[in-house]
Structure 1
Amino acid sequence: MSETTAAPDAALAADIDALCRLTGSFTLRSGQVAPEYFDKYLFESDPALLLRVARQMVGLLPDDPDGTGLLGGLELGGVPIATMVSSLTGRPALFVRKKAKEYGTCKLAEGPGVEGRRVTLIEDVVTTGGAVRDATNALRAAGAVVEVVVCAIDRSPEGQDPLADVGLEVRPVLTKAQLDAVS
């Protein structure tokens, strides 16, 4: 986890935990099997809760001194959050696919061009950072400057940055420890 985190919002943590924490046996994108799962689509489909998360994310965004920065929402869960944060800030959004389309424009990222522009990634949940790492590498290959990911929930082990290997700072609204504290 990074030094930059949202001020703990116990009410938001309690509401997300109550709505989104599922227990059972769940296989994560990384292949890990977890005894619990945070179903982020439950908060993302709730307009009031999504707005609360997006408002917290606004304070975590890096400065955009030249006004050319983009918010890169990762498919699928980062897209509604990036759209809401874009609406709140006036910063343009970019929608980053898991892989480029094989038809039409064949783009990996839908929206404004990324070459030479700073892209702040927006993600729902980060555990090992696999999807964020893939998007970062692809966007950098396209000429983007990617240094920060702002996420709703950081499930990575406390005190660890799962994306340090690609030089990416993780800025979470909530951590697993904060959610555990209210459950």
Structure 2
Amino acid sequence: MDAACRLTGEFTLRSGQVSNEYFDKYLFEADPQLLARVAREVAQLLPPEIDLLGGLEMGGIPIATAVSQLVGIPVIFVRKKAKEYGTAKLAEGPSYDGKRVVLIEDVITTGGAVRDATSALREGGAVVETVVCAIDRSPGDANPLADVGLEVRAVLTKAELDVARAASRV
């Protein structure tokens, strides 16, 4: 996955941070074999007794959909903000009021999008305690979402990807 999606250059992240590398998750999400591998790994990290998977717009949606097919748990598609027309929903799919929702995200750095989605879903009655991501690129061992009481479970961390990259250069 690292070779398929790590780009080098100068990139501004959602958080506003500037990085010399970028994990273009759409490169693995668009590849059916890589997406299936990621979905299998994400499925292994799901906590027990959940009602819904919450795929975050946009990168979390393909992963959540693939995981849903594997484990048989329905999925909601969580927008960055509620649409302003039609049903004006924040999340498309079944009702999440009173449901235990595990968020699915592609890459987490500071957790801004996850934090926003968690707050909005909780306001709508969801019980959100865990987020599972493909890549956690947050610095160090600190949980970037501890302030909102979320457990972060990652398929891969930036540190693990860095080790794998270094080993492949040997």
- TM-score, length-normalised on structure 2? 0.96
- Could you tell me which amino acid in structure 2 is paired with residue 170 of structure 1? V
Q: Deviations over 1:47-83 (max 9, x none)?
A: 000000000011100101xxx6100000000000000
Matched, 1:113 2:95: yes
Instruction: State the SS of the aligned residue for 1:61.
Output: coil
Q: Deviations over 1:147-172 (max 9, x none)?
A: 00000000001211000000000000
Equivalent residue for 1:31?
Answer: 16
CA distance in 1, matches of 2:63, 2:140: 24
Equivalent residue for 1:7?
Answer: none
- Could you tell me which amino acid in structure 2 is paired with residue 36 of structure 1? E
Matched, 1:97 2:79: yes
CA RMSD of aligned residues (A): 0.6
- Could you tell me which amino acid in structure 2 is paired with residue 175 of structure 1? T
Q: Runs of 5+ in structure 2 lacking a partner? A: 166-170
CA distance in 2, matches of 1:19, 1:117: 36
Instruction: State the SS of the aligned residue for 1:82.
Output: helix
CA distance in 2, matches of 1:69, 1:95: 14
Matched, 1:152 2:134: yes
Q: What's the CA shift for 1:175? A: 0.3
Structure 2 matches for 1:12-51, cutoff 5 A? Answer: 16-51=1-36
Q: Deviations over 1:21-51 (max 9, x none)?
A: 0000000000000000000000000000000
Matched, 1:177 2:162: no
CA distance in 2, matches of 1:174, 1:84: 18
Equivalent residue for 2:37?
Answer: 52
Seq. identity, %: 73
- TM-score, length-normalised on structure 1? 0.89
Equivalent residue for 2:58?
Answer: 76
CA distance in 1, matches of 2:141, 2:90: 32
CA distance in 2, matches of 1:178, 1:74: 24
Q: Deviations over 1:126-155 (max 9, x none)?
A: 000000000000000000000000000000
- Could you tell me which amino acid in structure 2 is paired with residue 71 of structure 1? L
Instruction: State the SS of the aligned residue for 1:146.
Output: strand
Q: Which runs of 4+ in 1 moved over 3 A?
A: none
